Structures are given as structure tokens and as C-alpha cells.
Amino acid sequence: MDGTLIDQTAAIIRCYREVITEMGYPVPDDEVIRRSLGGVMAATMGIFVGVGRMEEACKAFRARFSAIMFDGLIVLPGGMELIERAYKARIPQVLFTNKHGDTARQVSRYAGFAKYVPNCIGSADTQWHKPEAELTQHVLQQIEASAEGAIIIGDSPTDIAVAKNAGLSCYCVATGAHSVDELLEAGAGAAFESLLELGNSIDIPKP
């Protein structure tokens, strides 16, 4: 979701920075935070916060983020159009993310994605996280689909690992923290500068 369909980076980085510094740690590097996004919150937080205070830090992040998460949120160009095209073609879709599940569904409703993609699965909804194959299998079951012929669209090496672990195809967009070349080097089946470019390159049957 983050970096693929939306840009929520400003609020996310602000929240990490405020929580980390208020806990007495040095001011984190914004670029280090940005490059770490795509994994679970604890992975990013663990770069800056000691293990013994991880639970405290993650709890503080969730409490603060709910108040600022829509500040500066951008729906990336081409995303809604691509989702709507797939919906009209009756192609099953699901959003799955390492963002906390409740937060992800709030964002999906706010951005308008939920109108076309009611299924949204995030962190804490299951015992698994991306890129674990068990999560991907669970997600596919929710839309009654199989890995064969399924495509994940993402923006990070985590999404590419999802595809590799579960036997999916992976198309990436360089709208997150990684370039087209970096995504291809990580193993993306194809990589594009934007969802607009991706949408123009794939054929979705018209209803």
C-alpha cells in the first residue's frame, strides 16, 4: 500500500522521528527510515530503539500515528484507475500490507480503494507478515485465487520476496524508496516508473 498506491511517507517519518527522540534516542535519519519502509514496524523501529524498549516504542507509534496519518497523504496517480479497471473486469483483488490492519483499512476507506477492493489484510490480522508465504496463501484464499496466474504489484524488495516465496509474478513501481534498476536487480518481473506507466503496459479485458 505505502509507496505503491499511496504516499504517506511524511506522516510516517514524522511519527518515527517524534517517538524515537521523545524516548531519548538521537534524531533518526529520514532517509534510513524511508529505505526501511515495507517491512514490519518493529524492523524499522529496531534500527533506532533498543530491544528492551521495542514494545513501548511500537505502542507509542500506533497511538500517535492515528492522529496524524492523513496529514499530507497522497493517492498516487494511476492507482485508482488501475483498481477500477480490474474491478470492472471482475479480476479478484486484495490489499495486503505490513501496515497495521486497522490503520490500513482506515486508509483504504479514506482513499476510496475499499469501494473496489473490500479485502484489506495487514499486520496483526494474522500471525504472519510479508514476505512469509503463509500470509500470501491466506490472502489468496480470501479471494478464492491460486498463486498460478496471480500478480503482486509493489514497490520494494519485500514485495519481490513475497512473489518469490509464494510463486507469484511481481510487477513493481519506483514510487517508493527504490529505483527501477534496484527493483529489477532485486528480481522484479517488470518495473515501471509509476502506476500510470504500469497501467498503460498491461492488458486488462474490458467488461
- What is the pLDDT, as a whole number, of residue 205? 81
Measured distance CA(172)–CA(188) in Å, rounded: 6
Identify whether residues 164 and 179 lie together within a single domain.
yes
Measure the CA–CA gap between 186 and 196, rounded to whole angstroms: 22
Helical spans, DSSP H, in 79-146: 79-88, 101-111, 133-142
Domain presence at residue 1: no
Where among 68, 101, 122 does a domain terminate?
68
Query: Which residues in the chain come in under a pLDDT of 50?
Result: none
Asked if residue 40 and residue 117 are part of one domain, the reply reads no
Question: Is residue 131 domain-shared with residue 54, that is, in the same domain?
Answer: no
Residue range of the domain that includes 118: 75-201
So what's the pLDDT on residue 70? 94
Based on the fold, state whether residues 54 and 119 are members of the same structural domain: no
Tell me: do 188 and 167 sit in the same domain. Answer: yes
pLDDT at 37: 85
Q: What is the pLDDT of residues 101-150, one digit of tens each?
A: 999 999 999 999 999 999 999 988 999 999 999 999 999 999 999 999 99
DSSP E strand stretches across the chain? 6-7, 74-75, 95-100, 120-123, 151-154, 169-173, 190-192
User: Per the structure, how many domains does the chain have?
Assistant: 2
Same domain (yes/no): 53, 130? no
